[in-house]
Amino acid sequence: GIHVAKKIDKLGMRSSDTAQIFFEDVRVPCKNLIGEEGKGFTYQMLQFQEERLWAVATALTPMETIIQETIDYTGQRKVFGQPVLHNQTVHFRLAELATEVELLRSLLHHAVALYVEGNDVTKFASMAKLKAGRLTREVTDSCLQFWGGMGFTSEVLVSRFYRDLRLMSIGGGTDETMLSIICKYMDILPRK
């Protein structure tokens, strides 16, 4: 009763297979049932906060790595006789990005501390996930630009992260879904 229709070719995250799967008349023996029958959707919804916090945590190191590799590369790469890093636009931008990463880390730590205490962190997890999705795009785009033509090749890590981290704004709930959740918790979501 389980049929894999086709493997889907993706833009990024190529090491993780995605496929179209159909379940028809699949029976699960009682001994293999996890939780209460009919509660699968509810269980999925409950785990989203952990998934979103995990996603934010896993985005921090790649962003730090991209920033540091960009510092290293622009410190060595010379244009018009001086390192690219000596351009105020470049080093100021890298400082801004590093600051944003640290702010995201603080929001994550706050949300995790509240979660460990047993609090509902839906609002903060959604805020952190929204910021992580947008910040990964900002960091990868800015850093790739500083690599020039080399950044547009598959030979450097920044291009892989540019491609792969785009999923952060989609997987586990899109940016727009995060905004709707945040608005709901702020009691500013229009009612029908």
Active site residues: 51
Phi, psi of 77 (to 5 degrees): -75, 125
Residue in the structure block whose two tokens are 């500083």: 146
**How many C-alpha atoms does 163 have within 13 Å on its Cβ side?**
15
Report DSSP letters for 60-116, one per residue.
HHHHHHHHHHHHHHHHH-EETTEEGGGSHHHHHHHHHHHHHHHHHHHHHHHHHHHHH
